[in-house]
C-alpha cells in the first residue's frame, strides 16, 4: 500500500515536472554568436513631425519584447540596416528590479508593467502578500475600453498572464487559463490550447468561451473574415514555434487584434503584444534566434505604427520586462546583414531596458524610471481617475 502510494506520488511528480518543463524547455545553451540575415524587411518611411497626433491617447498598444535589451535591438538594427523601432522618437530607460530580486523574472516584470506594483519573482498579478492587483487591462475594461492580448508563447505564459490573471505562481497554467473567463477581454491570440481543454478540473474553457459569445479559432488565417465581436485564437497546443516556423503569425495576429478592437464599439482599447521568444534565444545565447525574433517583432510593430498614423489617438509603446543574456554586439556589417554578438549569462540580467514611444502622449516616456512608472503613465494618459484605483 505504502509502496503503491509512493509510486503514484513519484508518477504525479514526473507528470507535473514534465508539464512545467514543457513550458520552460527553452533555456539550453547553444552558444551561436554570429548571424547573417535571412530576409530583410522594408522599414516604414514616416515623417513624424508632419503628423498631428492628439495629446492624449484613446488607444494604447503596448509591445513587449521579452528579454529585449539594447544589445538585442541593435543586433536587429545591424542585420536589417534599420528597424521600425528607430521611427519611435521618444526614448527612455526602464529599471526592472523586482521586490525580492535584483534580477527580475517575467512574472514580476510583467506584473510591474501591468499593475504598477513591484512583486516577487514568479508572481502573476498579485503583490508580495499574494493580494490580487488590478491590471491596466482590467482598468481599461472597467472604463469601457476594448482589450486584447497577443503572444508568440502560450497565452498563459508569464507575460500575457500578468495582464489578465492573478495567481501565486507563473507555473499555474490551468488556473491562469481559467482567469481568462473572468474578464470581458475582446480578443486574445496565442498558444496554449491544452490549458483550456486538457484540464485537471475537467472544465472545457473553449465551450465556456463559445457560451460567452467568442468565436474560437486555431489558426490565424482561418479567422481572416472575423472583423469584430469577440475572438480567441489558440494557435498552438503549447508554445508557438520559433520565428522560422511560424510565418507571419505575429504580424497577422497584431493586425487582426487591432482590426477587431477598432471595429468594436468601445471607448478606445488597450492591446498588449508580446514577442516572447527574444528571451528564449537570449537564454540560449543564440544570435540567430534572438535577432530573428527581434526582426519579427519589428514587423508586427509596423502594423501598430500604421494604425497609429492613421488614427492619431493611439499611443504605441515598445519596451521589455527585463534584459536576457547580458547580450552585446561585438561586431557587424550592415551591408552584409551580419552581426557578431557576445553574452555574459544564460539567464536574465539586471540592466535597464530601453522604452520607445510613438503617437498620442508619447513624449511622457522620456527619461529613466522604474517599470512601475510605465503603468502609472498609461493610467494617467487614459485619464482614469486616481480615486478609482483599487
Ligand atoms: Mg514572456
Ligand atoms: Zn527568460
Distance 152 CA to ligand 1 centre (A): 9
- The CATH code belonging to domain 32-388 is 3.40.720.10
Q: Who contacts 262 (Cβ-Cβ below 8 Å, separation ≥6)?
A: 59, 269, 307, 311
Burial class (CB in 10 A: 0-12, 13-18, 19+), 215: middle
- Which ligand has an atom closest to residue 191 CA? 1
Rounded to whole angstroms, the maximal C-alpha distance in the chain is 78
- Which ligand has an atom closest to residue 157 CA? 1
Catalytic residue among 98, 106, 151, 349: 106
C-alpha closest to that of 364 among 315, 307, 305, 303: 315
**Helix, strand, or coil (residue 259):** helix
Interstrand relation of 353-359 and 314-319 (parallel, antiparallel or unpaired): antiparallel
Burial class (CB in 10 A: 0-12, 13-18, 19+), 356: buried
Residue 292, C-alpha cell as written in the block: 530573428
- The continuous run of DSSP H or E covering 178 comes out as helix 173-179
What pLDDT, on a 0 to 100 scale, did the predictor assign at position 27? 81
Distance 155 CA to ligand 2 centre (A): 16
State how far the Cα of 200 lies from the Cα of 212, in Å rounded to an integer: 22
Distance 353 CA to ligand 2 centre (A): 14
For 28-61, give the DSSP string: ----B-EEE-SS--PPP---GGGS---SS-SEEE
Return the domain boundaries, the chain. 32-388
Residue 147, C-alpha cell as written in the block: 482589450
State how far the Cα of 132 lies from the Cα of 390, in Å rounded to an integer: 10
Distance 67 CA to ligand 2 centre (A): 6
- Which ligand has an atom closest to residue 156 CA? 1
- Which ligand has an atom closest to residue 274 CA? 1
Q: Who contacts 373 (Cβ-Cβ below 8 Å, separation ≥6)?
A: 94, 116
State how far the Cα of 187 lies from the Cα of 63, in Å rounded to an integer: 16
* pTM across the whole model: 0.94
- The continuous run of DSSP H or E covering 258 comes out as helix 249-263
Distance 301 CA to ligand 1 centre (A): 17
> Angle at which helices 249-263 and 287-311 pack, to 10 degrees?
20
Q: Give bridge partners of residue 337 from the DSSP assignment.
A: none
For 314-344, give the DSSP string: EEEEEE-S-EETT-EEEEEETTTTEEEEE-S
Which residue matches cell numbers 526592472? Answer: 96
pLDDT by residue for the chain (390 residues), tens digit each? 455 555 555 554 444 444 444 456 778 899 999 999 999 999 999 999 999 999 999 999 999 999 999 999 999 999 999 999 999 999 999 999 999 999 999 999 999 999 999 999 999 999 999 999 999 999 999 999 999 999 999 999 999 999 999 999 999 999 999 999 999 999 999 999 999 999 999 999 999 999 999 999 999 999 999 999 999 999 999 999 999 999 999 999 999 999 999 999 889 999 999 999 999 999 999 999 999 999 999 999 999 999 999 999 999 999 999 999 999 999 999 999 999 999 999 999 999 999 999 999 999 999 999 999 999 999 999 999 999 999
- Which ligand has an atom closest to residue 349 CA? 2
Distance 111 CA to ligand 1 centre (A): 11
Beta-sheet strand order (sheet of 34-36) = 34-36, 338-342, 328-333
Query: Is the separation of the CB atoms in 216 and 248 below 8 Å?
Result: no
State how far the Cα of 104 lies from the Cα of 69, in Å rounded to an integer: 14
For 206-257, give the DSSP string: HHHHHHTTEEEESSTGGGTT--SSEEEEE-SSSSPPPGGGSTTHHHHHHHHH
State how far the Cα of 334 lies from the Cα of 75, in Å rounded to an integer: 10
As residues whose CB is below 5 A from the ion ligand 2, the structure lists 279
Distance 141 CA to ligand 2 centre (A): 29
Q: Who contacts 257 (Cβ-Cβ below 8 Å, separation ≥6)?
A: 148, 150, 187, 189, 271, 273
**Helix, strand, or coil (residue 109):** helix
What pLDDT, on a 0 to 100 scale, did the predictor assign at position 15? 45
What pLDDT, on a 0 to 100 scale, did the predictor assign at position 19? 44
Q: Give bridge partners of residue 125 from the DSSP assignment.
A: none
Which residue matches cell numbers 526602464? Answer: 94
As residues whose CB is below 5 A from the ion ligand 1, the structure lists 66, 106, 159, 276
What pLDDT, on a 0 to 100 scale, did the predictor assign at position 7? 54
Distance 145 CA to ligand 2 centre (A): 31
| φ and ψ at residue 146, rounded to 5 degrees | -75, 160
Query: Is the separation of the CB atoms in 87 and 104 below 8 Å?
Result: no
Please report how many Cα atoms fall inside a 13 Å half-sphere around the Cα of residue 110, on the Cβ side. 34
What pLDDT, on a 0 to 100 scale, did the predictor assign at position 265? 87
Respond yes or no: is residue 162 known to be catalytic.
no
Amino acid at each position: 500500500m505504502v509502496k503503491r502510494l509512493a509510486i503514484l506520488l513519484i508518477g504525479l511528480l514526473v507528470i507535473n515536472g514534465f508539464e512545467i518543463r514543457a513550458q520552460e524547455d527553452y533555456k539550453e545553451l547553444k552558444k551561436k554568436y554570429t548571424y547573417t540575415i535571412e530576409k530583410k524587411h522594408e522599414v516604414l518611411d514616416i515623417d513624424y513631425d508632419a503628423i498631428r497626433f492628439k495629446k492624449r491617447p484613446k488607444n494604447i498598444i503596448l509591445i513587449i519584447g521579452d528579454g529585449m535589451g539594447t544589445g538585442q535591438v541593435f543586433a536587429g538594427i545591424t542585420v536589417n540596416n534599420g528597424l521600425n523601432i528607430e521611427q519611435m522618437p521618444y526614448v527612455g530607460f526602464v529599471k526592472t528590479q523586482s521586490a525580492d530580486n535584483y534580477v527580475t523574472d517575467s512574472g514580476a516584470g510583467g506584473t510591474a508593467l501591468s499593475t504598477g506594483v513591484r512583486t516577487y519573482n514568479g508572481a502573476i498579478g498579485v503583490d508580495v502578500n499574494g493580494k490580487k492587483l488590478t491590471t491596466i487591462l482590467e482598468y481599461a475594461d472597467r472604463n469601457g475600453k476594448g482589450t486584447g492580448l497577443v503572444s508568440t508563447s502560450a497565452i498563459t505564459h508569464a507575460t500575457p498572464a500578468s495582464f489578465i490573471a492573478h495567481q501565486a505562481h507563473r507555473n499555474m497554467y490551468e488556473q491562469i487559463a481559467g482567469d481568462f473567463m473572468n474578464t470581458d477581454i475582446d480578443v486574445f491570440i496565442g498558444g496554449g490550447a491544452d490549458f483550456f481543454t486538457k484540464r485537471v478540473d475537467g472544465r472545457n474553457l473553449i465551450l465556456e468561451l463559445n457560451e460567452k459569445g467568442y468565436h474560437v479559432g486555431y489558426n490565424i488565417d482561418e479567422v481572416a473574415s472575423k472583423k469584430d465581436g469577440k475572438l480567441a485564437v489558440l494557435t498552438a497546443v503549447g508554445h508557438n514555434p520559433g520565428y522560422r516556423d511560424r510565418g507571419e503569425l505575429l504580424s497577422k495576429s497584431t493586425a487582426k487584434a487591432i482590426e477587431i478592437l477598432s471595429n468594436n464599439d468601445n471607448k478606445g482599447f488597450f492591446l498588449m503584444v508580446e514577442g516572447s521568444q527574444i528571451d528564449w534565444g537570449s537564454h540560449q545565447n543564440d544570435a540567430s534566434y534572438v535577432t530573428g525574433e527581434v526582426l519579427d517583432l519589428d514587423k508586427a510593430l509596423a502594423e501598430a505604427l500604421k494604425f497609429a498614423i492613421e488614427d492619431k489617438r493611439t499611443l504605441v509603446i515598445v519596451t521589455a520586462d527585463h534584459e536576457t543574456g547580458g547580450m552585446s554586439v561585438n561586431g557587424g556589417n550592415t551591408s552584409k546583414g551580419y552581426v557578431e554578438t557576445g553574452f555574459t549569462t544564460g539567464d536574465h540580467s539586471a540592466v535597464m531596458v530601453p522604452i520607445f514611444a510613438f503617437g498620442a502622449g508619447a513624449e511622457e516616456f522620456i527619461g529613466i524610471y522604474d517599470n512601475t512608472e510605465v503603468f502609472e503613465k498609461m493610467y494617467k494618459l487614459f485619464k482614469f481617475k486616481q480615486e478609482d484605483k483599487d
